Amino acid sequence: MITRTLVKQLAALPDGPVSVAGWVETVRDQKKVQFVILRDESGAVQLVNPATRELEEGADAAASARLALTEQISELGHGTFVRVTGELKHDERVKLGGLEVKIGSLEVVAEALETPIAADSSLDKRMDWRFLDLRHPKQNLIFRIQTTFLHALRTYWVEHDFVEIQTPKLMASASESRAELFELGYFEGKAYLAQSPQFFKQMAQPAGLGRVFEVGPAFRADPSFTSRHATEFTSIDAEMSWIDSHEDVMKMHEELLVAGFTAVREKHGAEIEELFGLEITVPTTPFPRIPLAEAKQIVAEHGYVVPRADADMDPEGERRISEYVKETYGHEFVFLTDYASSIRPFYHMRHEGDSNLTNSYDLIYNGVEISTGAQREHRIDVLVEQAKEKGLDPEELEFYLDFFRYGVPPHGGFGMGLARVLMLMLHEHSIRETTYLFRGPTRLLP
């Protein structure tokens, strides 16, 4: 039996016998010849069968077999999985890859019903049939890009002595705030789904791990129906010891993204141009840095006033400041820094000499916030006071505060949404496109 060959491997083989397997994308059943486009996980190839429509008197067994094959191909439905053996031939006249396989035998492995979705189906309908939607080369490529991107991030971290951790997603108390928190029964008590690994990655600092990262699920009970929110998402997190300020975190963050974008461009650049019609730009370093107050002033001078002066930058403000940065610096990324302590968590370190500001940032990419980072407060007495200022009961934070009672070095880190990064990288309109199986307020299937 001939070993199966992936479509992407065919070009490197000489003419001769091969075996391929995948699903039927199209069948062109002409009078004297049949063409089948077979697609597998690596690409598509043209199969050809010189059709025999009837048997002449005294026809031999080979002719009978060819007629049976012709009839079999005529009945193939879109999406049917088949295994084919035949003769590979390189032919520059063939538009699809310059090669084709003449079918010797065809085995139907699994028949398929008529597909319930089409290229112009609504996003919601495509999500209902996600396992079929992902057969499309464009959708399929997204998760190969994701694999390359995450591998590059991990490679950067490992080469810079970071340790990978996996933190629990069942928690006894909130990791951020009690807002947007999923509560569930846990034996005789209650538990909560982790909103982020924040507390646990900070715990790694007094544990002596120094630099840690995690790629894992996070949960937010957020009823938003926007293009960039989900109730379950993949969070990319890092935390590092012995920093001087949030500037050290930003430097690591931008170097990490350069590594990820470089890997994607090198491995998938041509496919992205073909299927998405865009060129991946590897960002230059350093990324522009603008204090939040200054950013609000800039967008106001360009015709938009963020509604609340004491609030975060709103989505329109993010778009406006990104436009300004693109025009002024030619950059798709910008760090907005020095957020007010009133709109930041209690564990963000305040500016020395100005407790109204924090050593923190948001990273904006192509008009959308993708990450929040900060230097953390590591002094237990200051941390307790800041928690009280936020109306939190230190007794409910005892397990977290215990980390700091036994000595913690200065540290900081960030959390970043994977699907948002991919959405903006590929100029998609929704994280539903860049999430393998999306979860939102009204979607728990498939």
Query: Smallest Cα–Cα separation from 256: which of 375, 361, 155?
Result: 155
- Cα–Cα distance measured from residue 404 to residue 414, given in angstroms and rounded to the nearest whole number: 19
Query: Smallest Cα–Cα separation from 235: which of 413, 445, 425, 31?
Result: 413
Residue whose entry in the numeric block shows the structure tokens 């007794």: 395
Query: Smallest Cα–Cα separation from 48: which of 6, 98, 96, 100?
Result: 100
Query: Smallest Cα–Cα separation from 412: which of 212, 261, 216?
Result: 212
Question: What is the distance of C-alpha 95 from the center of its chain?
Answer: 32
For 80, 242, 374, 414, the CA distances from 239, given in Å and listed in that order, are 47, 10, 10, 7
176 assigned to a ligand binding site:
yes
Longest dimension (CA), the chain: 100
In total, the chain counts a number of residues equal to 446
SS3 149: helix
- Cα–Cα distance measured from residue 343 to residue 14, given in angstroms and rounded to the nearest whole number: 64
- Cα–Cα distance measured from residue 178 to residue 361, given in angstroms and rounded to the nearest whole number: 22
Contacts of 229 (CB under 8 A, 6+ apart): 220, 222, 431, 440
376 assigned to a ligand binding site:
yes
Query: Smallest Cα–Cα separation from 292: which of 326, 316, 318, 315?
Result: 318
71 assigned to a ligand binding site:
no
63 assigned to a ligand binding site:
no
Q: Kindly state the tokens that stand for 37.
A: 């486009």
372 assigned to a ligand binding site:
yes
274 assigned to a ligand binding site:
no
Q: Kindly state the tokens that stand for 112.
A: 């398929």
419 assigned to a ligand binding site:
yes
417 assigned to a ligand binding site:
yes
- Cα–Cα distance measured from residue 140 to residue 134, given in angstroms and rounded to the nearest whole number: 5
**Which residues sit in the known binding site for ATP?**
369, 417-420
**Which residues sit in the known binding site?**
176, 220, 369, 372, 376, 417-420
**Which residues sit in the known binding site for L-aspartate?**
176, 220, 372, 376
